[in-house]
Structure 1
Amino acid sequence: MQDATLSVGDSIEGRCTKCRKNTAHIIVTLVEENPGKVQCTVCNREHKYRPPTAARKPAARRTVDPKEAERQEWQALQPTMNPAKATDYSMDATYKVNALINHPKFGLGVVQRVVGPQKVEVLFEDGRKMMRCQ
């Protein structure tokens, strides 16, 4: 595992549990030629040896803005919609996923999900809206 033989007092890099980063450590005890306990040279905390962690890749950035994704989703659903089968929106009605509704202000919409007992998320041409329902 190691190239050179380790001994108590040697310096080794490891993950510090207090600093929460890779730092230099001094070996305090050995267990079968491997570091057992180490002491961080930054915070002086003594803890079980943990090997250094690899650097994480930066999170991938979104290339498509959410509004544009909603517009694309709307355009994909539009050919399957039949406006004649849409029900007029009412706060007193109950809705199921994929139900077509006709809102007086936002126009034709598709229920995307039922959020709770009194809310649904509807995709309109303008974007997603949270609507109250029964």
Structure 2
Amino acid sequence: MQSTTLSVGDPIEGRCTKCRKNTNHIVISLKDDAPEKVECQTCSRQHKYRPPTVAKKPAARKTTKPKDADRKQWESLRPEMESAKAKPYSMTETYKLNNLIDHPSFGLGIVQRVIGSQKVEILFADGRKTMRCQ
């Protein structure tokens, strides 16, 4: 365990500017009881003390579960959908609001919103998807 008061010659962990990682250092000089200058034990370079960096947590993955509101809306619209009237999905087609779509991967869906000239938002059983179109 490291003591609370440091002195010249004590080992300390810090970020080395040459190695670009956290390494063990030796304190060379102090200023107000804090390390000012240190020497890296890996590359022997002397530099200003920099505290060790903390590893970042990996970004959390987004889940594709449908929201409760989307699920309720899908359940209310599902009885009115007739799969025989559904248009097969194609990126080269144009779609209008409330068009019934049959997607090869997601199944039946209904166009909820037209986004610009080349995208539509479609409500499927497993949630909303933004799809490309003509």
TM tier, smaller: 0.5 to 0.7
User: Paired residue for 2:5?
Assistant: 4
| Unaligned runs of at least 5 residues, structure 2 | none
Is the alpha carbon distance of 1:13 and 1:107 closer, same or farther for their aligned partners in structure 2, counting shifts above 3 Å? closer
CA RMSD of aligned residues (A): 4.0
User: Paired residue for 2:22?
Assistant: 22
Aligned length: 119
Report the secondary structure of 1:3's partner residue: coil
- The correspondence for 1:91, drawn from 53, 72, 93, is 93
Alignment of 1:1-134 (within 5 A): 3-7=4-8, 9-54=9-54, 59=58, 66=64, 69-70=65-66, 74-79=70-75, 81=77, 91-92=93-94, 99-104=97-102, 106-111=107-112, 114=115, 117-125=117-125, 128=129, 130-133=131-134
User: Aligned equivalents of 1:113 and 1:24: distance in 2?
Assistant: 58
User: Aligned equivalents of 1:113 and 1:19: distance in 2?
Assistant: 52
Q: What letter corresponds to residue 22 of structure 1 in structure 2?
A: N
User: Aligned equivalents of 2:29 and 2:46: distance in 1?
Assistant: 10
Runs (4+) off by over 6 Å: none
> How does the TM-score come out when normalised to structure 1?
0.56
| Unaligned runs of at least 5 residues, structure 1 | none
Does the CA contact (< 8 Å) of 1:14 and 1:52 recur in 2? yes
Is the alpha carbon distance of 1:81 and 1:14 closer, same or farther for their aligned partners in structure 2, counting shifts above 3 Å? same
- Worse overlay, 74-83 or 38-47: 74-83
> How does the TM-score come out when normalised to structure 2?
0.56
User: Aligned equivalents of 2:114 and 2:39: distance in 1?
Assistant: 53
Does the CA contact (< 8 Å) of 1:38 and 1:47 recur in 2? yes
Identity %: 37
Report the secondary structure of 1:36's partner residue: strand
User: Aligned equivalents of 1:81 and 1:28: distance in 2?
Assistant: 73
